Amino acid sequence: MDGSAERPVSDDGASWTGAGNAALTTSGISRAGSLWRLRDDVAHLLPLHGVQPFMAAGLVGMGIDLLAFLALLGLGLGVMGAQLVSFALSTFCLFGLSLRWVQPRLGVTLRPPRAELSGRIAAVVMLALALRSGILASAAALVGLPAPLAILPAIAATAMVNALGVGFFVWPGALAPLSRTARWRLAAVGVVAYSVALRLMYLGVTELIPQEAYYWNYAQHLDIGYLDHPPMVAWLIWIGTGLFGNTEFGVRIAAWLCWGATAFFSFGLAIRLFGRSAAFVTVLLVAVLPFYFGTGLVMTPDAPLTAFWAGTLYFLERALRGGQANAWWGAGLCLGLGLLSKYTIGLLVPAAFLFMLIDARARAWFRRPEPYLAGLIAVLVFSPVIIWNLENDLASFAFQSTRRVSGSFRFSLPELILGIAGLLTPIGLMAAVGVLWLRERGVRRTAVVPEVQEVDRRRWRFVGVFTLVPLSVFVVFSLFHMSRLNWTGPLWLAVLPAVAASLLAASSHIGGAQRWLQRAFVPTIAITLVLCGLGLGYLVAGVPGLQRFSPFPAVPVAWRDFGAQAASLAEEVRASTGEEPVLIGLDLYNVASQLAFYAAGPDAAHGMSVGRGVLGQPALMYSYWYRPETVGGRRAVLFSFSQRQIENPLLPRSFDGLGEVKRRDVTRDGRVVGHFFYRIGRLKAQPAVDGSIFALPFTAD
């Protein structure tokens, strides 16, 4: 390869397909596209002369907020009530000052329509409240600050969000001096900063979902492989909990950091495909679209998978389009680390192969050693999982391949499409489909210089191949089998830079449908961010009267109370019999995992929750960790949220004696949000057995 690189589309927004970008270069874009200019970009974007009056109004609001909060606390109102009332007072004052004093001083006369203005104000208020609630909860629960001190950073964040929201979002006329691309860059900086802070504040105060507790149990049984997933998620949780203890924050901090890696590589990829402004907007999309927002908050294999998927795309683009031989080493490393996270990243291999087949310049790599050495690097990094599978009859490979393919017929394409709309929002999905559909037509229509047309074709070829090849696999699978909601999430990283570029395109260069999508994306971003913030706030603080709409355990709002009650039952058995009981959740893994994490006491992480595998039922990794013969003869407490499940007539076969079914309520803040059933008995002594964990006597689901 000659090592030449292709110049991205210019940042003036004139044409998102690259029209007019005739100045090709063979020196690369390393200087113009360096990732390290981010700080300078941010500094040049901020028109501080327009922000200062709003910040002054924000300082007034801060004073009112603090005084009102302290006064209400002194009158005996609770922390939550006091902070809501003081927030309302300070926000009312801020918007009143902005309307009566700040806006006229700035000479801003342009106002959106009344309905739109109300929506913008409501969005800013709810965003401020969501971040405020997270900061207050974290300062009190994690740092241990008393309420008068915990409220201080919450008030500061409230003032900043309100002031900047009023200055840049509520009154759009304040941004009139800025160009379209500058406004998008400024929005990207603000949205990304808010999203990062919001997720950080809620990492340690929202309860784990069952999947996270299950992967935390991976880390308690650290290994080089597991039945249903590779080990990366366990290794990251092990590091996080080693630093921050067995807490929600310790479990999730790696997910938050993985999001940073995803954003970093996505920024770099977008620079090289469509320019710096598109890179800013790409990171905005990564910050706010539901799937990517979730991967930066919830610790599942998707968090590292998405980070390494972004890294693999970045280095493959540098190798295949940029002609950089050294980029293959990064691609091989990221691919191997991605395979240690989740096997689906392997779909980038056929995508790269296809690109090399159909792209004349990239085809030359077939005659070079770098791609093959990159593949060897990936295999070496992935080798721990290969070793584990060889030692366990290829159980994990079978679980994720032949087991899924041999499942019952199910046409799930509609569910797949609806799932993608949920991952990207409906507007995001329409935008992604739109840019893929229109890419070739745009190149043919606008790129009149042959060299420019070839650059554009290669850029769109990369976007199309690395999006459509993985997507086609999931589409075909959904024609015959049940698909999962999260499967397609990472593959859209390849098309997000194109979506970002389309949002920046000048209206004269796009059709009516694309102009409509441009207009629809602003409220979509605001609504999505508001829903994420309010959802997190509800999980932590709740909303009076809404519990009936989110029954536990469907919504993770009372696992701590459930765990405390389970530990209390175990203590009762321990006190009455002098024996150490085991806790058995009767579903596949959810209850057992939450019992392991939330059942209080020093034994919680040392085998007190053993899973239903000891009863001869499928239990994923619990069937490996705990065999029936290891707990035979011990007292056991069975738990289920299904009365039918815990009354299964086959259950007594595993016990020498099994007590009656009892029920307990689960509460949150004194309100009943659900209930569970339990039984106490003594397990039969079991001889050592050898058999497949996939051929067990019965299931109780």
The residues, any chain, with a CB within 8 Å of residue 549's CB and separated by 6 or more, are none
Contact 654/644 with Cβ under 8 angstroms?
Answer: no
- State pLDDT tens for residues 320-342: 999 999 999 999 999 999 999 99
- State pLDDT tens for residues 290-313: 999 999 999 999 999 999 999 999
Candidate from 262-271, 360-369, 537-546, 683-692 with smallest mean pLDDT: 683-692
pLDDT given for residue 49 in this prediction: 47
What is the average per-residue pLDDT within 594-599? Answer: 94
What is the residue type of 400? Answer: Q
Residue holding tokens 């710096």?
Answer: 276
Tokens read off for 341: 């996270």
User: What is the pTM assigned to this prediction?
Assistant: 0.90
- Grouping H, G, I as helix, E, B as strand and the rest as coil, residue 134 is helix
When pLDDT is cut at 50, 70 and 90, the band that residue 16 belongs to is low
Instruction: Compute and round to an integer the Cα radius of gyration of the chain.
Output: 28
- State pLDDT tens for residues 47-70: 444 555 666 767 788 888 899 999
Q: Label the pairing between strands 635-640 and 582-585.
A: parallel
When pLDDT is cut at 50, 70 and 90, the band that residue 689 belongs to is low
pLDDT given for residue 549 in this prediction: 57
- State pLDDT tens for residues 412-459: 999 999 999 999 999 999 999 999 987 655 544 544 556 667 888 899
pLDDT given for residue 414 in this prediction: 95
Residue holding tokens 């949150």?
Answer: 668
- State pLDDT tens for residues 508-522: 567 788 889 999 999
Measured CA to CA in angstroms, residue 407 lies from 142, 151, 636 at distances of 45, 53, 34
pLDDT given for residue 19 in this prediction: 38
- State pLDDT tens for residues 31-49: 334 444 555 555 554 544 4
- CB-CB neighbours of 78 under 10 Å: 11
Q: How many Å apart are CA 175 and CA 178, to the nearest integer?
A: 6
Residue holding tokens 């999730």?
Answer: 252
- State pLDDT tens for residues 370-404: 999 999 999 999 999 999 999 999 999 999 887 77
Q: Phi and psi at residue 141, in whole multiples of 5°?
A: -80, -40
Surface-to-core class of residue 145, CB atoms within 10 Å of its CB (0-12 exposed, 13-18 middle, 19+ buried): middle
When pLDDT is cut at 50, 70 and 90, the band that residue 547 belongs to is low
Whether the per-residue pLDDT at 4 is higher than 50: the answer is no
When pLDDT is cut at 50, 70 and 90, the band that residue 696 belongs to is very low
Candidate from 67-81, 89-103, 522-536, 633-647 with smallest mean pLDDT: 89-103
Which comes out higher in pLDDT, residue 41 or 226?
226
What is the average per-residue pLDDT within 91-114? Answer: 65
What is the average per-residue pLDDT within 242-262? Answer: 97
CA angle 592, 594, 598 (to 5 degrees): 125
pLDDT given for residue 603 in this prediction: 47
Percentage above 70 pLDDT, the chain? 82
What is the average per-residue pLDDT within 619-646? Answer: 94
Average pLDDT score, the chain: 86
* Residues belonging to the chain: 701
Q: How many Å apart are CA 16 and CA 435, to the nearest integer?
A: 10
pLDDT given for residue 575 in this prediction: 94
Whether the per-residue pLDDT at 118 is higher than 90: the answer is no
- Grouping H, G, I as helix, E, B as strand and the rest as coil, residue 656 is strand
Q: How far apart are the first and last CA of the chain?
A: 58
Classify each residue of 596-616 as buried b or exposed e, where b means 16 or more C-beta atoms within 10 Å of its C-beta. Answer: bbbbebebbbebbbbbbbbbb
- State pLDDT tens for residues 523-534: 999 999 999 999
What is the average per-residue pLDDT within 604-624? Answer: 85
pLDDT given for residue 113 in this prediction: 77
pLDDT given for residue 29 in this prediction: 37
Whether the per-residue pLDDT at 28 is higher than 50: the answer is no
When pLDDT is cut at 50, 70 and 90, the band that residue 13 belongs to is very low
Whether the per-residue pLDDT at 544 is higher than 70: the answer is no
pLDDT given for residue 273 in this prediction: 96
Candidate from 11-20, 326-335, 359-368, 419-428 with smallest mean pLDDT: 11-20
What is the average per-residue pLDDT within 210-228? Answer: 96
pLDDT given for residue 513 in this prediction: 83
